[in-house]
């Protein structure tokens, strides 16, 4: 039965996941081409200078891509479940309701993590070709909150989509906005370094919040 559940989740998100994976790769290819182009024009020494002393982030195009992917996958996965309250069928399966929901959620999270991992590996490869570890690290530290923010977006979007009462959806969205904004503050390269542990804890904690609206959904909260 788990196989069937996973298959159902796969059918729901496969196109969205593929599109976002491709979008991210396109953005990374664009970043690669731009680095190459700019280095040809201004020389590597000056390009590095802009990163080191002017805070230029060569991966800034990537900023909201993890956010969009998290949102997109949450919508693809949970929106169909809310149409005609279809998720009720899933909750009637002979598996504990929380467990089935966490199973779905884990699949979505896993897919998102896989996409992020592919992007990050590509990013590291591109960076190591052109830059020393110092530059790669400082840019990576700048990117990591964006990726954690993408995960948090997925978790909060699932919470909002499964919430049965519209008023609460709006209220959750306001809180989610404040929460997600913590990951996307405008800040210089490496500036997020001291906040990373706290943000990581919050991201992990937020992974189970979908249970709350799932509970309200199946208890028929109106």
Partner 1 sequence: MMVKISRYILVIIGILAASVALPELYWTIFEQVPRTPNVYYSCTLNDFIMLRSGDNGIIRHDTKGNTYTLDEFEQHLPMMFFRQLMTDGTMPDSIHGVEMDPTAINKARSYFRYTTKDMLSPRPRLWPMFESESGRVNLAMPDDYFRITTKIEFIDAATNKVNQEKSAKFTRALEEHDFAFPARLIAGIPTTRKSCDEGYFVKDSRGDLFHVKMIKGEPYVARIDIPDPMDILHIECVDLRSKEFYCYLFTRHSGVFVVMEGVYHLQRLPVEGFDPFQHEMKINCDMFNKTFAMEGEDFLKVVAVDDMYEVVDTYEETWDGIFERPDGKMFASIFPFELELRTARTGFVNFYFTRSPGFTWLLVNLVFVGLAVWLILRRKGNLLKNIPDLLIVLVTGVFGFIGTQVFPNKFYD
Residues of the shown chain interacting with partner 1 in the complex, contacts defined by CB under 8 A: 43-49, 52-53, 98, 129-132, 134-135, 138, 145, 159, 168, 171-172, 174-175, 177-179, 181-182, 185, 187-195, 198, 202, 205-206, 208-212, 214-216, 219, 221
To partner 1, the closest distance from the beta carbon of 61 in angstroms equals: 20
Minimal distance, residue 65 CB to partner 1, in Å: 20
The burial of 191, by beta-carbon neighbours within 10 Å (0-12 exposed, 13-18 middle, 19 or more buried), is given as middle
* Closest to partner 1 by CB, 86 or 221: 221
SS3 call for 209: coil
Give the closest residue to 161 by CA, choosing from 91, 82, 222: 82
Using the minimum distance from each CB to partner 1, give the nearer residue, 17 or 209: 209
The distance of closest approach from Cβ of residue 201 to partner 1 in the complex, given in angstroms and rounded to an integer, is 10
Residues found in the chain: 222
The answer to whether the beta carbons of residues 143 and 194 sit under 8 Å apart is: no
CB-nearer residue toward partner 1: 26 or 134: 134
Query: Is 5 or 208 the residue whose CB approaches partner 1 more closely?
Result: 208
Q: How far is the CB of 140 from partner 1 (least distance, A)?
A: 13
Q: Which of 136, 161, 142 is nearest to 73 (CA)?
A: 161
Alpha carbons 113 and 6: distance in angstroms, whole number: 16
Cβ closer to partner 1: 91 or 215? Answer: 215
Angle between helices 2-42 and 44-54 (to 10 degrees): 110
Shortest Å distance, C-beta 56 to partner 1: 12
Burial of 15 (0-12, 13-18, 19+ CB in 10 A): exposed
């Amino acid at each position: 039965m788990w196989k069937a559940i996973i298959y159902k989740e796969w059918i729901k998100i496969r196109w969205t996941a593929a599109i976002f994976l491709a979008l991210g790769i396109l953005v990374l290819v664009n970043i690669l081409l731009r680095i190459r182009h700019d280095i040809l024009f201004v020389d590597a020494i000056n390009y590095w200078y802009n990163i080191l002393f002017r805070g230029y982030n060569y991966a800034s195009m990537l900023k909201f891509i993890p956010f969009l992917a998290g949102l997109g996958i949450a919508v693809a996965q949970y929106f169909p479940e809310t149409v005609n309250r279809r998720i009720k069928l899933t909750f009637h399966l002979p598996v504990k309701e929380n467990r089935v929901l966490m199973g779905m959620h884990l699949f979505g999270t896993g897919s998102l993590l896989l996409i992020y991992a592919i992007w990050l590996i590509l990013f590291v490869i591109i960076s190591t070709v052109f830059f020393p570890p110092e530059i790669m690290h400082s840019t990576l530290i700048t990117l990591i909150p964006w990726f954690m923010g993408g995960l948090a977006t997925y978790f909060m979007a699932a919470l909002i989509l499964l919430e049965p009462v519209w008023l609460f959806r709006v209220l959750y969205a306001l809180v989610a906005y404040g929460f997600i904004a913590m990951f996307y503050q405008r800040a210089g390269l490496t500036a997020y370094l001291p906040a990373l542990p706290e943000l990581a804890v919050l991201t992990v904690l937020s992974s189970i919040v979908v249970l709350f609206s799932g509970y309200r959904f199946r208890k028929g909260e109106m």
